[in-house]
Structure 1
Amino acid sequence: MSGLGVLFEDPALEARVSAGVEKVEARLLEATRAPEPFIAEAAAHLLNAGGKRFRPLIAMLAAEFGDPSRDDVVPAAVVVELTHLATLYHDDVMDEADKRRGAPSANARWDNSLAILVGDFLFAQVSELVSHLGPEMVRIQAQTFSRLVRGQIRETLGPQDGDTALGHYLGVVADKTGSLIAASARFGAKMSGAPADVETALTEFGERIGSAFQLADDIIDIASETGDSGKTPGTDLREGVPTLPTLLAQKSMDAADARLLDLLARPLTDDEELAEALALLRVHPAMDEARAIVQTEADAARTLLAQLPDNPARRALYDVCDVVVTRLG
């Protein structure tokens, strides 16, 4: 039912989760409304461009370990997805991106200042929404947002003394992606009244599968011809943004990789050089090494699921782990 293609063996579960995600979508539209026509248009710009809605899916499945019909489950999922949406406006400014989800980015359509302000508006909407969920949720949201910002700062600064390039990158992925998907699982569990030990296991699961999800997108950005990650393939290479496969390739000491290493040392603004780098990377051992890292993260997430009660939602989460890996082809 989701953009990820997760399969449900239980029709009743699929119906509940689908209905929940649809309600989240409707509430997201409500949250982007504003009296000023321009703000409403710009705030809904990336929402209308679509997305996999991975975070609401995880929240809805986590809520199945308590009472998924509780009133605060959907608003909690909206908080997480709206936070993610707001970060995209800021990320595109930081990355100087031209496109997002196949559509012009907000900064490309308007300008950087307006894109930043629209992101700020959405963060303000998040604050109002989470305030209705109680002080504990406000605290968790603040902690999550702190990790998101710290991850962005660490990414901007680059590796510091004592950091390896790969270790630094994996830490950034955990902060920028893992933390928010962990919050999705935690919010769904907490708002449904799931037991504390179940909430803890689901939070840890979200962290691991969230990192695996982002690392898989890194691989798809190079391996795919179709832009399955929501970006034109090779976008990160064009912008000189380090990703899992490129960092692994850059560790090579093989003389045969001299040309690839030369290409990876700079942004690839030339179309021919970009195509050459993609071709070299697609057959490089670094791609299999990257796939193995994603598999390890997904396996760690699967292990955490063993702590949960055996129900259709747990089996659907197992399928989420499989889908994250099988997206790699």
Structure 2
Amino acid sequence: MTSLGVAFADDALEARVSHGVDLVEEHLARVIDSDEQFITEAAAHLLNAGGKRFRPMLVLVCAEFGDPTHPDVVPAGTAVELTHLATLYHDDVMDEADIRRGAESANSRWDNSLAILVGDYLFAHASEVVSTLGPEAVGVQARTFARLVKGQIRETIGPRDGEDPLAHYLSVVADKTGSLIATSAQFGATMGRAPDDVVAALTEFGERIGVAFQLSDDILDVASESSDSGKTPGTDLREGVPTLPVILVQRSTDPADAELVRLLSGPITDDVDVSRALDALRAHPAMDEARAVVQAEADAARALLAKLPDTPARVALRAICDTLATRLS
């Protein structure tokens, strides 16, 4: 497992991708630089807090199915990471978060208005970078942005009357997380000038693997004894966020689950109640059901790889699918 979070069986591929990520880092720093010192500082706040750069990495791996040295590949990686960073600034405002990537969130360090404006600044620069990649890329970026916003709106308002909460949640995850990872794969393949059928397969792969990783985070928020998911276990319960295991429990009609369903009906503010809820969820069959949902997404993503040429890049993408099983074991 490398610092990029992917097991590369091929040293040459790993070296190329690592070098590409370094070039993306340099491009990111140049793009967010401003003649206004505060803007540069605020825009670099989360950038400098770290992250695995999974989306740029995926751009670079998917470009391997064409020409990974094409000059459009690195800007594409920069654009998706700028878009991702922008969503983090906005998400922290929506979630009233204090910590992001182990550092003080921008809204906590400054205020909500500035965090929103910095997110807008990053979105604008992402669009500027994408504009250099051609009109088709601009269209993809616009549709991705629309899905990101739609997912956030639908999460905020919740399911409509009569709408299945699980179906609603899965569609929100697809929009909020799957869409940008799908675009990362699509941009990599497209900017590398891969064949159209390869671009289509990689785009669907990205969407499915993005959904699977988000759902696996839902499970880790309950199952982990430490901060394996990047946050304190039970965070979603404290915030009243209805994630996959919780929704599956709430569908139960078993009288034995009535007390747990009641406990999960809203934010849990008491630490003792959080511990009770975590213990009950960890022992509940819904956890295995949730793992099965994640496994089904990972299996569907892995099946798409059969459509691709047998190369070290395909092996690396298969390793991403395998990582999901490792996370949840």
2:35 match: secondary structure? coil
Could you say which residue in structure 1 is the equivalent of 2:300?
300
What is the distance in 2 between the residues matched to 1:30 and 1:277? 46
Contact 1:212 1:294 in 2 (8 A): yes
Amino acid at match of 1:48: N
SS in 2 for 1:295: helix
Contact 1:2 1:52 in 2 (8 A): no
Deviation digits for residues 18-67 of structure 1 (CA, Å, limit 9, x no counterpart): 11112112222222322222211211111122112211121111000001
- The C-alpha deviation readout for 1:100-156, integer Å capped at 9, x for no partner, is 122221111211111101101111111111111111111110011111111111111
Partner-residue secondary structure (3-state), 1:146: helix
In 2, Cα distance between the equivalents of 1:41 and 1:229?
27
How big is each residue's C-alpha offset from its partner over 1:278-317, in whole Å with a ceiling of 9 and x where there is no partner?
Answer: 1211121111111110000000001111000111100111
Partners of 1:280 and 1:248 in 2: CA distance: 13
Give the counterpart letter for 1:202 in structure 2: L
Secondary structure, aligned partner of 2:307: coil
- Which structure 1 residue ranges, 4+ long, deviate > 3 Å from structure 2? 1-5
Decide whether the 8 Å contact of 1:216 with 1:325 is kept in 2: no
Rounded to whole Å, the distance in 1 between the matches of 2:262 and 2:254 is: 13
Conserved 8 A contact 2:31-2:125? yes
Q: Which amino acid aligns with 1:260?
A: L
Identity of aligned residues (%): 70
Residue identity opposite 1:11 in structure 2? D
Does residue 274 of structure 1 match 2:299? no
Q: Which moved more, 1:159-168 or 1:21-30?
A: 21-30
Letter in 2 for 1:252: S
Shift of the alpha carbon at 1:327? 1.1
Question: What is the RMSD of the two structures over their aligned residues, measured on CA atoms?
Answer: 1.3
Matches within 5 A, 1:244-323: 244-323=244-323
**Counterpart amino acid of 1:290?**
A
Q: Which residue in 1 is equivalent to 2:24?
A: 24
Mapping of 1:118-137 within 5 angstroms?
Answer: 118-137=118-137
> 1:76·1:191 contact (CA, 8 Å) conserved in 2?
yes
Report the CA distance between 1:2 and its aligned residue: 4.5
> Cα offset for 1:3?
4.6
Counterpart residue identity of residue 71, structure 1:
P
Which residue matches 2:180? 180
Provide the residue aligned with 2:201 in structure 1: 201
What letter is aligned with 1:28? L
Q: Distance in 1 between matches of 2:326 and 2:276?
A: 26
Aligned residue in 2 for 1:225 = 225
Q: Is the 8 A contact 1:177 1:214 kept in 2?
A: yes
Q: Which moved more, 1:45-54 or 1:114-123?
A: 45-54
Contact persistence 1:68–1:192 (CA under 8 A) = yes
Q: 2:72 corresponds to which residue?
A: 72
Residue identity matched to 2:135:
P
Residues 4 and 57 of structure 2 are in contact (CA less than 8 Å); yes or no, is this contact kept in structure 1? Answer: no
Tell me the residue number matched to 2:171. Answer: 171
Q: Is the 8 A contact 2:220 2:228 kept in 1?
A: yes
2:211 equivalent in structure 1: 211
For 1:294 and 1:275, how far apart are their aligned partners in 2? 24
Deviations 1:146-189 (A, max 9, x none): 11111111111110144210000000000111110000000000
- TM (normalized to structure 1)? 0.97
Residue aligning to 2:36: 36
Structure 1, unpaired ranges of 5+:
none
CA distance in 2, matches of 1:33, 1:276: 48
AA at the equivalent of 1:208: R
Structure 2 segments unaligned to the other structure (5+ residues)? none
Answer yes or no: is 1:237 the counterpart of 2:237: yes
- Measured after TM superposition, the shift of residue 5 of structure 1 is 3.5
Q: Structure 2 CA distance, aligned partners of 1:255 and 1:100? A: 39
1:74-115 Cα offsets, whole Å, 9 max, x none, are 110111111011001111111111211222211112111111
Deviation at 1:225, TM superposition (A): 2.5
Counterpart residue identity of residue 83, structure 1: T
Q: How many residues end up aligned between the 2 structures?
A: 329
